Amino acid sequence: MDALESDGLRAFAVFARHLNLTAAAAELHLAQPSLHAKIGKLARELGTPLYERDGRGLRLTPAGEKLAWFAQENVRRAKDFIAELDGRPTSLTIAAGHGTFRWVIGEGVRGLVNSGRELHVRTANREQAITEVAAGRADVGVFGSRPPPPHLASTEIARYPQVLMLPAGHPLTAQAQCTLKDLAGLPLLLPPPERPHRQELARALLDAGVSIAVAAEVDGWDLMTHFVALGLGAAVVNGCVSAPENVVAIPIRDLPDVRYWAVWRPERTDLPTDVLHHLSVP
């Protein structure tokens, strides 16, 4: 109990964010040996190592990961308590991808800010968002495509069809919708091979017996749709993405809807219900 009530716990919370003694010591305005001693004392009092070498860097042990979440949660609760006493808004940290912030939860984020919350944004892909939430560095994570892992609480907040974006005037734009067969021979602007969207689309096209014709590999919906407008090719994107001028979006009938989830730690029973309400897309 004494160890968990010491300022060593606060120091460890900062160290766990950086996983670098020099950077953490600078933030805490401590000498590096002093920070090292605080963490070492905390580890001895708890009877377990809290971090270990990982090549040229450092990583938390399983006990260190649990303590990091506990420490960061204590810091968050203390800040929120003081904010409430002072009549100031409590903070909220959301981890999500650039496209998710822009195309899916942008209006929800605006609603949260307008409701008086102090918002912190962490740009993260699916795996990074899960890690940020699990470690307590983010209150909520939002991502699409694959379902959330079972160790996190979650709720579906949005669902969109997949659409084919084409330059205005392309023959396919005369159709109300299309199928994967219509993509045969069509030059496509695709995400890099490691992206889940690329992998899922490649599998769907393979199952439909359609070979991929790659016009260019492009990272990000914004640039992809811009290239469509320039006439460089067509693109399959989530239906939440707005078509730029001179671009037409057609639903693809035989592709599944893309689902988006909000996730949080099950222990976060104090997560205000209005947060999920704002993030849910009608």
CATH code of the domain in which 19 resides: 1.10.10.10
The domain that holds 96 is classified in CATH as 3.40.190.10
Q: Is residue 28 part of a domain?
A: yes
DSSP result, 136-183: TS-SEEEEESSPPPTTSEEEEEEEE-EEEEEETT-GGGGSS-B-GGGG
| Total number of domains constituting the chain | 3
Out of 45, 73, 101, a domain closes at 73
Q: How far is the C-alpha of 93 from the C-alpha of 75, rounded, in Å?
A: 13
Q: What is the pLDDT of residue 92?
A: 87
- Residue 78 domain-assigned (yes or no): no
Nearest CA among 125, 82, 135 for reference residue 101: 125
Distance of CA 219 to the CA centre of its chain: 16
Same domain, 221 and 167: yes
- pLDDT, tens only, 108-123: 999 999 988 888 899 9
135 plus 175 within the same structural domain: no
For residue 91, the surrounding DSSP H or E stretch is strand 91-96
Domain span at residue 228 reads: 162-256
pLDDT of residue 107: 95
Q: Which residues partner with 93 through β-bridges?
A: 120
Single out the residue of 190, 221, 215 nearest to residue 204, CA to CA. 190
Residue 91 is predicted with a pLDDT of 80
The model's confidence at residue 87, banded by pLDDT at 50, 70 and 90, is low
Taking only the tens place, the pLDDT of each residue in 175-226 is 999 999 999 999 999 999 988 889 999 999 999 999 988 999 999 999 999 9
Average pLDDT of the chain to the nearest whole number: 89
**Sign of the alpha-carbon dihedral angle for 51, 53, 59, 63:** negative
Give me the pLDDT at residue 233, please. Answer: 95
Of 61-75, 114-128, 157-171, where does mean pLDDT reach its minimum?
A: 61-75
The least confident of 125-139, 149-163, 172-186, 213-227 is 125-139
Pair 220, 272 in one domain: no
